[in-house]
Structure formats: C-alpha cells, structure tokens
Amino acid sequence: MKFRKIKKRFLEKRYQSLLKEPEVKKKPVHQKVTTVGILGLETISQNVDLQQLVTNTFDVRNPKIYSFRAFSKDNESSYKHFSENDFDWKGNITDSSLQAFLDTEFDLLITFFDQKHLYAEYVTLLSKATFKVGYAEVDSRLFDMEVKTEGKDMDAYLNEVKKYLVILNRMDG
C-alpha cells in the first residue's frame, strides 16, 4: 500500500513538471475532425455508451475509447481500460495498448471526467491528439477547448462541443 502512495506522488510530480513545459507541437489550425478518441472513467462508461453517443453526435466512424478503472485483481485485462498499475513509479506507461492509444494522433480527443483525477489528467496530457476538449472544472492547461455544462448531461456536453467545433470550422454543421 505504501508503494502505491509513493508511485502516485512521483506521478503527481511528473505531471506537474510536464504541465510547466512549453508545448512544442504545432497544431493544424483548421483541420476537419475525422478521427475521435474518447477518454473517460469506467464509472461513466458503465452507465452510458459513450462510443455510440459520440458516433451519433459527430457523425464519425469508429471512435476509440479508453477508460480508467481502479485496479482490482478480479478485473480481466482489457484493451479499453487502464489502471494505476499501467504506470511505473516514474510515470512511464507499461501497457502497450494504452501507449498505442496515446500515440494515435486523433483529430479530436473528448474527455469525460468533470473533476480532478490524476491518472485521467496525466493520460490526457500525454495524448498526441491535435485538439483536446474537456470539462471546465478540471485543468484548463490540458485542453484546447473547455466546456461548462449544467449537471452531468452527456448530450448537452457533446452538443456544446459540436457547436463550437462548427464555429471553429473544424466540423461541418
């Protein structure tokens, strides 16, 4: 148990230092959204089919989804979930499917967590997506666009995201 706290502390330090580094990557200004990545928490994805919701709202095919779930020995290994055990004590990714998700240059990464969550925030930071969208309640340094919605209405959140993507000419209305 003590090891987990130490590991989490190191991860927090690495996360904070990466946030301070200036971003070097050049992002296309008006690239249309064709590929979408979804990052969330298992508690949300258990109740809502995020993949179908995003597909219907944005009219995209096959968005990739990855969710955080707390580690349990009872959980089966999954290519759609990551846990605190998928990081070493230095904050490096140890799971190859999570690393592949992060290395994918999605046109849009939509995050579905509306409160501070170290592991989800860290994965968002490491993602190579060209445009990242998230809730305003999290950390503004992570996202290119933040959305504030009342309650936990996923439809309202996604419709708001789509509305601004159309305004930014990254999506057709």
Confidence of residue 27 (pLDDT cuts 50, 70, 90): low
Q: Give the range with max mean pLDDT: 11-20, 80-89, 122-131, 153-162.
A: 122-131
Does residue 27 form part of some domain?
no
User: Residues 109-127: pLDDT tens digits?
Assistant: 999 988 899 999 999 999 9
Chain mean position to CA 155:
17
Look at residue 64 and tell me if it is in a domain. Answer: yes
In this prediction, residue 31 carries a pLDDT of: 75
Assess contact for 113 and 37: CB atoms under 8 A. no
| Total domains in the fold of the chain | 1
Task: Provide the residue range defining the domain that includes 99.
Answer: 2-21+32-167
Query: Domain for residue 138, yes or no?
Result: yes
Output the DSSP codes for 40-106.
EEHHHHHHS-HHHHHHHHHT-S--EEEEE----TTSPP-SSEE-GGGB-TTS-B--HHHHHHHHS--
Does residue 9 lie in a domain region?
yes
Identify whether 172 is part of a domain: no
CA atoms within 13 A on the CB side of 33: 30
Structural domain includes residue 36: yes
pTM over 0.85: yes
Residue with tokens 């509306």: 114
